[in-house]
Structures are given as structure tokens and as C-alpha cells.
């Protein structure tokens, strides 16, 4: 029960890694507020998670919505101990064929979303000497020629993690990130980024040295570790949780 009495706010908490993390935090005693754009997904998640979970509908690309997420969390629980920036989108395309609007869509969700919500939460986290965990990606350090905007956005998230860690350390706030490989979730299907998702997951068995794609629970375990008091001397860490995927770029 590492998080007994703690309060966690999770963007993108209705599905995928965010939902997996919500399960883990609640199992370990936390009260959790999940946020996202799709009310039906959030309501289904809260129904599963039980009385320790509540929801706030909002889009992380909207600065005002991010402030509202934090305000509602404080209104309900009077504190905030952990912010998990899990909301994100993906899209295909290289420099020659990515329209500006698509580039902006990915940057707004993946980069500005982390910026808006983290900024909104800083004062509350100073009070609790809490922590931020960002969901980056193996693509933040391993380039893929057909994922220009996504790779760039996740590289930005990893670098933001480092700079935020330096800035906020004097206030006792730790900032870390996870960099997952392919994880079974709605990330690719919600944006139609993968035509044949079953084949995509099957291929992940070959592209990830440990022989399988990840599950949300795999990443949630790492997130919980980085947010817990036992990692109290860790900040500015971008932890690869990728089944060895990054290692294949070193061959």
C-alpha cells in the first residue's frame, strides 16, 4: 500500500497505459482522478475501478481544461501527490507527407498537453512535495522514418522531463518518465495508424527481444515505482520499459 492516502491525477486515464496505471495506484491505496476527452471511456473505467476513482472530462490541448482537472482534483481530495501525463496520440508520416495540421495535432496532444497539465499542477505538487511521471516512448530516442511528428513529440517529452526535474528539484518535486515500446492499447487503433493491428502485435514478437509486445500493467509497474517513496532519490530518469526494443537500434 505504497500510495495509501495519496492522490493521483492521470491524463488519458480511460484506456491503455493510463488505465493500467490507475488500476495499479488504486490497488496500492491511492485515490485516483482520471481525465480524458471521451466521457464514455472514462465512465466505463470508473465503473471498473470503483469508489477510489473519479473522472474529469477534458482535453489536455486546452489550457483551461488542464487547470480545471487540477482544480477538481483539489476540490475532491484537497491534495495532489502524483501527476501522470499519459494522454497522447500517434500518426504516420515523414517530412515529405505530413500535413501541417497533422503535425500540429500530434504536438498539441503530446507536447503541449504535458506542458499545460504540468504547469497547472506545479503549485499543488509543491505543497505535497509530490512527483510527475511522463509517458514518453522508445521513439523519443530511436528514430522511425515514417513517424516524424510522433518521434519528435516524444523526444520533446523526454527532454522536458529532464529540464522539469532540474527546475523542480529544489521544491522536492521529482520528475521522471517511462519510454515504452509497443504496448497493447488503443493508441494505434484510435487514430487508424495501423491497418492490421493483429499483424502489428504479432510482428512485435520479433521486433522486441523479449518476444512479446507490452501490456499496460508492465508499464504501470514502472510508473508506480517511479512515483513511490522508495525511488525518492531518483529524478530526471527516462526509464525504458520496452522489452529490449531500444537495444535493436544499437546493433
Q: Which residues are catalytic?
A: 150
Give the number of other Cβ atoms within 10 Å of residue 99's Cβ: 10
How much is the CA Rg of the chain, to the nearest whole Å?
Answer: 17
CA distance 167 to 150: 25
From the number of C-beta atoms within 10 Å of its C-beta (0-12, 13-18, 19+), residue 25 rates as: buried
Closest CA to 176 of 232, 109, 216, 125: 232
C-alpha to C-alpha distance for 116 and 31, rounded to whole angstroms: 22
The overall longest dimension of the chain from CA atoms, in Å, is 51
**Alpha-carbon span 90 to 189, nearest angstrom:** 10
Cell of 66: 488542464
* Cα separation, 121 vs 111, whole angstroms: 16
Work out the end-to-end distance of the chain between its first and last CA atoms, rounded to an integer number of angstroms. 41
Sign, CA torsion 13/16/19/21:
negative
Amino acid at each position: 500500500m505504497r500510495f495509501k492516502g495519496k492522490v493521483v491525477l492521470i491524463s488519458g486515464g480511460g484506456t491503455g497505459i493510463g488505465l493500467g496505471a490507475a488500476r495499479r495506484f488504486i490497488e496500492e491505496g491511492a485515490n485516483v482522478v482520471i481525465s480524458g476527452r471521451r466521457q464514455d471511456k472514462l465512465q466505463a473505467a470508473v465503473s471498473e475501478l470503483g469508489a477510489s476513482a473519479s473522472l474529469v472530462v477534458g482535453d489536455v490541448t486546452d489550457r483551461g481544461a488542464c487547470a480545471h482537472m487540477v482544480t477538481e482534483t483539489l476540490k475532491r481530495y484537497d491534495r495532489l501527490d502524483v501527476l501522470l501525463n499519459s494522454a497522447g496520440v500517434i500518426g504516420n508520416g515523414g517530412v515529405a507527407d505530413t500535413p501541417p495540421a497533422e503535425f500540429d495535432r500530434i504536438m498539441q496532444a503530446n507536447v503541449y498537453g504535458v506542458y499545460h497539465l504540468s504547469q497547472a499542477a506545479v503549485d499543488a505538487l509543491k505543497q505535497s512535495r509530490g512527483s510527475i511521471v511522463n509517458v514518453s516512448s522508445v521513439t523519443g530516442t530511436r528514430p522511425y522514418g515514417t513517424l516524424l511528428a510522433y518521434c519528435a513529440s516524444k523526444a520533446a517529452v523526454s527532454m522536458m522531463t529532464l529540464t522539469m526535474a532540474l527546475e523542480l528539484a529544489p521544491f522536492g518535486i521529482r520528475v521522471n518518465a517511462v519510454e515504452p515500446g509497443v504496448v497493447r492499447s488503443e493508441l494505434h487503433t484510435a487514430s487508424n495508424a495501423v491497418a492490421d493491428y493483429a499483424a502489428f502485435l504479432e510482428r512485435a514478437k520479433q521486433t522486441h527481444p523479449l518476444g512479446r509486445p507490452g501490456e499496460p500493467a508492465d508499464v504501470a509497474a514502472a510508473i508506480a515505482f517511479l512515483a513511490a517513496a522508495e525511488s525518492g532519490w531518483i529524478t530526471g530518469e527516462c526509464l525504458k520499459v520496452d522489452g529490449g526494443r531500444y537495444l535493436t537500434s544499437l546493433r
